[in-house]
Amino acid sequence: MELLNNNRQPSGTELLEEIENFFGWEIRWALCNIIEEILQNDNIQGIKKNYLIELIDKNSDYSVVSALGDKSINTNSVKSTLDYLLEKGQHYRKSDEFIEMIDFMGKFRRYSPYNNMLVKIQNPHCSFYATKHDWENRFKRNLKEDAKPMLILAPMHPVMLVYDLDATEGEELPKEITDFGKFQGEWRPSLLQNLMDNANKYLIRIGYKKHSSTSAGFAAVDRESKSFKMRISIHKDLDEPSRFGVLCHELAHIFLGHLGSDTDRWWPSRQNLNHQSVEIEAEAVAYLVTKRLDLEGSSITYLASYLTEKSIPDGISIDYIGKVAGKIEEMAKGRVAAPKRKK
């Protein structure tokens, strides 16, 4: 209840980790029942109720149910890999470390932003990483005798082992690998078109119109059309790369739940965050996506302007940022399947 009364709405994973630290490991198996009991309270309404419903939605990637583990993972283990790693992630709640983490999450395009976050938590000094197979076959480097693996999540498997550059020896890395964070790529119009087409599948309407000189765009609930759930307006005078960056930012607001959930629960309900928190989260997502697609902007400066204190606001969720960035990047790269409507 104390969490509900504050401007915080962490993901199921982050909530699980927090209450375990406070109440002990056993609480994880009772948490869903506790949330269901709280929902029976008639005084829980509106924003808070939607957030609680999201936490126990078995179809949500951000719920407690999802955090408790995939069926392929042994849930009887003392702690899941992700729970353990996120405990260490509290180090990155300081302003400087937060910006460093977001920058790292955007660098390695071969892996998802979320897996980059997991590597950074395990090895803050990591400069480059790859699997044993890639080190040997792509880079002609072998693992050292005392090489220590790091864990990331893998499709069709619970975890996959990767190794830091310092854990290998052999040929020098190609320049395009060592300078991956410095190059500027050419604009690809397909990125914007793909993102718009896939946004429409989520019933998000996108339009262009004249905005003030201080407004690049905004996202809002669509109350004008019965065919769409949300609408995004972007300044029509922006060039295509800028339109893409603004669209990433505004889509992030929607998928991060800043405008509330929808009847199909295609995104969470996290309306209880303050303005500072929602802007930091949305711009962090936009920065991750654009950086990983070879576009440079002023996101880091924008983020720093909101991080005026020594630590970032408690409401900010790195878990949500990583997952939403991966989702929007996928939408920009190609066609994605339309989400299913709830019956």
Helices (H), 223-317: 240-255, 275-292, 299-306
Q: Is residue 100 part of a domain?
A: yes
Q: Is residue 341 part of a domain?
A: no
* DSSP 8-state assignment for residue 222: -
Q: Is residue 68 part of a domain?
A: yes
Distance CA(103)–CA(123), nearest Å, equals: 15
Q: What angle do CA 74, 78, 81 make, to 5 degrees?
A: 65
Residues 221 and 322 in one domain: yes
**Domain-terminating residue out of 178, 213, 245:** 178
**Domain-terminating residue out of 47, 77, 107:** 77
Please give the sequence-ordered ranges of beta strands (E in DSSP) within 187-281, or none if there are none.
Answer: 204-209, 217-221, 230-235
**Domain-terminating residue out of 132, 151, 178:** 178
Quote the pLDDT of residue 106.
77
Q: Is residue 199 part of a domain?
A: yes
Quote the pLDDT of residue 70.
44
Count of alpha carbons within 13 angstroms of residue 7, beta-carbon side: 11
Residues 65 and 117 in one domain: no
pTM of the full predicted structure? 0.68
Residues 195 and 274 in one domain: yes
Residues 272 and 309 in one domain: yes
Quote the pLDDT of residue 62.
78
Quote the pLDDT of residue 172.
86
Quote the pLDDT of residue 120.
86
Residues 196 and 279 in one domain: yes
Burial 125-156 (b: 16+ CB within 10 A, else e): ebebbbbbeebeeebebebeeebebbbbbeee
Token pair belonging to 39:
């929902």
Q: Is residue 194 part of a domain?
A: yes
Residues 226 and 174 in one domain: no
Could you tell me the CA-to-CA distances from 308 to 96, 169, 212 in Å, in that order?
A: 11, 42, 26
* DSSP 8-state assignment for residue 5: T
Q: Is residue 1 part of a domain?
A: no
Quote the pLDDT of residue 208.
92
Residues 170 and 236 in one domain: no
Residue numbers of the domain that contains 111: 91-178
Q: Is residue 340 part of a domain?
A: no
Residues 206 and 316 in one domain: yes
Q: Is residue 215 part of a domain?
A: yes
Query: pLDDT in tens for each of the 343 residues of the chain?
Result: 666 666 678 888 888 878 777 777 667 677 888 888 888 887 777 778 888 888 888 778 778 777 776 433 333 333 444 455 555 556 666 777 787 788 788 777 778 888 888 898 888 888 789 999 999 998 899 999 889 999 888 876 677 899 998 899 999 887 656 544 332 457 889 999 999 999 999 999 999 988 765 578 889 988 888 889 999 999 888 888 888 988 999 999 999 999 988 888 899 988 888 888 898 899 889 888 988 888 877 666 667 666 766 667 778 888 899 999 999 999 999 999 999 887 6
